[in-house]
């Protein structure tokens, strides 16, 4: 027998309702190990930068400070995100992951601006730089960054938290490479402005990474469809299902960086069972698009009821209306 009009059918598929960042205790140990490596070297690099009078080394240390902050936030955010949904927080704390990513991104952008300003000053009035110290420290720093990246990479990378951390650490490898080149140039040619040029490279990497993190976090906060998922394509696939007359009020968004949710209003032909169509559509969404947190409102519709429903309830459909061929409007 068909389901009664107005029934809401909610997806009940496994992990789709676990709104975490997927960073567990074992993952946090890897992140903490990476954090320890970063902190030890960062302190040593600040001392070396002051001794060598190298802005590029200090800029690298500033970048490593953001790495340390990102790692610390990732650990803290993962613990908070494990808290179950309760009270007013009906989705839990999954978006703490995005808050952490956004904070990391903004910090990188602010540091990039500061290092560009200082780099311009050094370019106009170059200071004496100890190229030998820069070369040695940058070479060691590149190795330390590779080790820290490997350690952090052992954690689950599905969340924005860990992806942001890895982006920080990978940029460090390139930044140390630029600093190493500047040290070699200063050591072999005496061209002191190479230090300022390397600083610009580091600042550029900071700005690139920071912008990406802020954009990714904003997609979560603005509830945009996840990258790689086209709502129009999903709507077309749903309305192509057996017995589906129309799909509207289709929304696809991220609960957290790695948790995708979907809701839609589905109108079904009279001769089809609402429960069966709903189960078919949820299976399609899970298998083809990897979406298992699904809420569908499934109603029967005929020509007259369809028009009445559109006039009375769906004057604002909140998006594209997907109709099967031959559907009366």
Q: What is the pLDDT of residue 258?
A: 63
Class of domain 19-221: mainly alpha
- Residue ranges of alpha helices (H) inside the chain are 25-52, 55-81, 96-124, 131-153, 160-189, 194-221, 231-239, 274-289, 303-312
Q: What is the pLDDT of residue 18?
A: 41
Residue 260 β-bridge partners? 254
Residue 8 β-bridge partners? 297
Q: Where do the domains of the chain lie?
A: 19-221, 226-323
- Pair of tokens at residue 76: 């803290």
Q: What is the pLDDT of residue 266?
A: 94
Element (H, E) at 223: none
Q: What is the pLDDT of residue 6?
A: 40
Q: What is the pLDDT of residue 202?
A: 82
Nearest to 289 by CA among 269, 250, 261, 265: 261
193/188 Cα distance (integer angstroms):
13
Q: What is the pLDDT of residue 327?
A: 57
Q: What is the pLDDT of residue 50?
A: 87
Q: What angle do CA 257, 172, 70 make, to 5 degrees?
A: 40
Q: What is the pLDDT of residue 15?
A: 37
Q: What is the pLDDT of residue 12?
A: 34
What is the dotted CATH code of the domain comprising 226-323? 3.30.300.30
Element (H, E) at 82: none
Print pLDDT tens along the chain (329 aa). 344 434 444 333 333 344 444 456 777 888 899 999 989 988 888 888 888 888 877 877 877 787 888 788 778 877 777 777 777 777 777 777 788 778 878 888 888 898 899 889 888 888 788 888 888 888 888 898 899 889 888 876 666 667 777 877 887 788 788 888 888 998 888 888 888 888 898 888 889 888 988 888 888 888 889 888 999 999 999 999 999 999 999 999 988 656 789 999 999 998 999 999 999 999 999 999 999 889 999 998 764 455 455 545 555 556 788 888 765 44
CB 69 within 8 A of CB 34: no
């Amino acid at each position: 027998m068909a389901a009664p009009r107005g029934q809401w059918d909610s997806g009940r598929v496994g992990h789709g309702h676990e709104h975490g960042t997927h960073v567990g205790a074992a993952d946090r140990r890897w992140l903490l190990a990476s954090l320890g490596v970063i902190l030890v070297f960062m302190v040593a690099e600040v001392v070396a930068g002051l001794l060598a009078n190298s802005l590029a080394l200090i800029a690298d240390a500033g970048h490593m400070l953001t790495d340390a902050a990102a790692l610390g936030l990732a650990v803290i955010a993962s613990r908070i995100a494990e808290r179950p949904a309760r009270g007013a927080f009906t989705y839990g704390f999954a978006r703490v992951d995005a808050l952490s990513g956004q904070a990391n991104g903004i910090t990188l952008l602010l540091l990039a601006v500061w290092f560009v300003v200082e780099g311009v000053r050094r370019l106009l009035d170059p200071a004496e730089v100890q190229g030998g110290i820069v070369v040695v420290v940058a070479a060691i720093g590149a190795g330390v960054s590779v080790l820290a990246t490997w350690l952090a990479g052992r954690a689950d990378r599905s969340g924005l938290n860990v992806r942001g951390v890895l982006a920080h650490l990978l940029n460090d490898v390139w930044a140390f490479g630029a600093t190493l080149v500047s040290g070699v140039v200063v050591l072999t040619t005496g061209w002191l402005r190479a230090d300022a040029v390397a600083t610009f490279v580091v600042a550029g990497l900071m700005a690139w990474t920071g912008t990406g993190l802020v954009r990714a976090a904003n997609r979560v906060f603005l509830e945009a469809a996840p990258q790689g998922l086209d709502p129009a394509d999903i709507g077309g696939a749903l309305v192509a299902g057996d017995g589906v007359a129309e799909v509207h009020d289709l929304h696809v968004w991220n609960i957290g960086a790695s948790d995708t949710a979907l809701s839609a209003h589905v109108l079904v032909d009279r001769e089809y069972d609402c429960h069966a169509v709903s189960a078919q559509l949820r299976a399609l969404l899970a298998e083809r698009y990897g979406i298992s947190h699904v809420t569908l409102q499934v109603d029967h519709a005929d020509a007259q009821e369809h028009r009445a429903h559109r006039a009375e309830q769906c004057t604002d459909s909140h998006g594209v209306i997907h109709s099967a061929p031959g559907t009366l409007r």
